[in-house]
Chain A
Amino acid sequence: MNEGEEKLGQIYFAILGAVALAFGAAELIASASEGFTWGILDSSGGADPMFLPWRAIIILSVGFFYLSSVKNFAEIHQLAKAVMASIMIWIVAGMAIWSRIAGSIPGEETWFNSLEGFLASYAPPYCPEMFLLPFSLVIVYYVLKEKETEK
């Protein structure tokens, strides 16, 4: 990657890291209490509150990984931290999506869900990781850039 791209990446992932830290802190507070839902942000842990503290730890680590990758971002070890942080978001958010898919197919009383019920399963509020997911995908661009230079 060139210098401009590096600079951009640094600013971008510094912001994303800070947001992740904030989300992590929110989830930590949520897991200490009963969890909460705030607008379209859902930090209640869904059906299983025992997931919440673990999610908080993961998302806090994601924040730290992103932030620590910022210095000398183009360097491979630094970039790797940002990649790893993104992968961690993909795992957690991916499982949140999977959970909705699994819940959307069968119906309450019937074998399969109605179309409205199916679509309603995907409505907000979403957990913080889902909000981070689209933004974390930016790392793919940098990985592809890196692959180019590797060749």
Chain B
Amino acid sequence: MPLSVDERWDLIDRISKQTVEFGAYKHTLKDAIAELTVKPLTGLPVAIAVIYGFWSFFCDFAGTLFTDGFMVKLFDEHWLPWLQSVFPGGLGNPFYALMVDAGHIENGVLVASDNCFEAFGVLTSGLFVVFGVVLWAILAFYLMFALLEDIGYLPRLAVLVDTVLHKIGLHGYAIVPTFLALGCNIPGVTATRTLETRKQRFLMITLLSVFVPCGAQIGIMQDLVPEMMGWIFLTLAIGYLGFGFILNKIVPGKSPEIIMDVPPYRMPVMKNIVSKLWIRTSKFLLVAVPFVLLGCVIVGIMYLPQVGAMDWLATVLGPFLMSWFGVPGETVSPLIAGFLRKDLAVGMLGGLMEQGIMTTFQVFTSVVLLCIYFPCLATFALMIKEEKWKEFIGSIASLVVMVLVYGGLIHVVGIMLGVA
């Protein structure tokens, strides 16, 4: 039964009398601030300030306070010399080399290492990477992440980025898995489950595993090459956006909008933050520790003069690495280690740097290569689990193409700038 116009207005009048109240609500300061954080003109500077705070906290907490302040002293001045003095075998012994110190050749003589980046042993480099550097980076990262999440800033950052990213065919929501992956790629890949279509998941997983370095890796990079971090992030961001744009165009399927819950701002609850921090950090350690130690063993075995696999690979792959990417053959060992753990691999690069066999640009290229060339074993395993076979092969294929193209491109840019 349709109503007449008058009947309808009469009904509306009755409804609004019961539900609408003028002068009842006043815009609060919180509402006004919430508005400021999502409007691009004011929201962008705020986002820069927040990310600035995030990053400063990360560097000072993990780098200055724990790693440089205490852990380097503990491992290099106490743990390493102590192990070198009490561990059976001694320099040159294969088991000693695996566990404590492989040493390195200086003027034709095998000499002992004086820091845990160079020693390459399971009990030295392995433990140092996990407990000396990475643990603190992960703690700092997840602490800040949980804080932003609980305050309610994260979805707003996504909405803000959304307006910008739409122009190149990506959704702002992509920032959540990306951000999470900056802690560890594993929860990042897992978070792609919230994406709507297979195409979106495929894009996100591929981009994450290639262009997003994890907290462990960032922690080590920040420790080794702090002055390059800006350039490294810039290079990765360009790759992420550029290849994201291309993949979005060539991969078939739909890419619908992802609709997020945007809660009001609220005070974070200490208990929530602590429990999230605990869950994420302990999960991380469970994955990281076995892989780092295993990585140390495998790389260590390949390095043993009795096996000689690493030297052989360096000779075989060296010319290719040198001509295509412009990095020396020695980087083959960190690249191999990178299959297992990126943090360990960057740490090994640190060992090479201390031997002074690379130019600054080569260090830069190899650090970037380590970021992009292959996901770590744990992420790799998760990709097999999360993706269908066809997608997985697609991911790996795009990964290989992206690494070759982008790595080569960096080399070319380096040549053009005259620094390579």
Contacts and interface: CB of A to CB of B under 8 A. Distances in A.
B315 interface: no
Contacts of A92: 49, 52-53
Interface string A82-100: 0110011001101110110
Given A50-B229, A51-B56, A84 B46 contact: yes
A105 B325 CA distance: 42
A143 B33 CA distance: 12
Given A83-B33, A103-B64, 9 more contacts: A50-B230, A54-B48, A61-B49, A76-B28, A84-B37, A88-B49, A94-B53, A99-B60, A106-B68
A83 to B, nearest CB: 6
B42 interface: yes
A48 B59 contact: yes
Contacts of B57: 95, 98
5 contacts: A49-B227, A65-B45, A94-B53, A106-B70, A150-B26
A54 B53 CA distance: 11
Contacts of A48: 59, 226
Given A50-B229, A79-B32, A98-B60, A88 B65 contact: no
Contacts of A88: 45-46, 49
Interface in B28-78: 28-29, 31-33, 35-37, 42, 45-46, 48-50, 52-53, 56-57, 59-61, 64-65, 68-70, 73
A58 interface: yes
A61 B45 CA distance: 6
Interface string A104-134: 0110000100000000000000000000000
Given A99-B64, A106-B70, A57 B50 contact: no
A2 B134 CA distance: 54
Interface residues of B, number: 33
B33 A84 contact: yes
B45 A102 contact: no
B271 interface: no
Contact of B61 (A47, A81, A96, A102): A102
B27 interface: yes
A80 B39 CA distance: 13
Contact of B29 (A91, A99, A106, A143): A143
The 9 closest A-B pairs by CB, nearest first: A106-B69, A61-B45, A80-B32, A95-B56, A102-B65, A50-B230, A102-B60, A91-B53, A88-B49
B38 to A, nearest CB: 12
Nearest to A100: B60
Contacts of B49: 58, 61, 87-88, 91-92
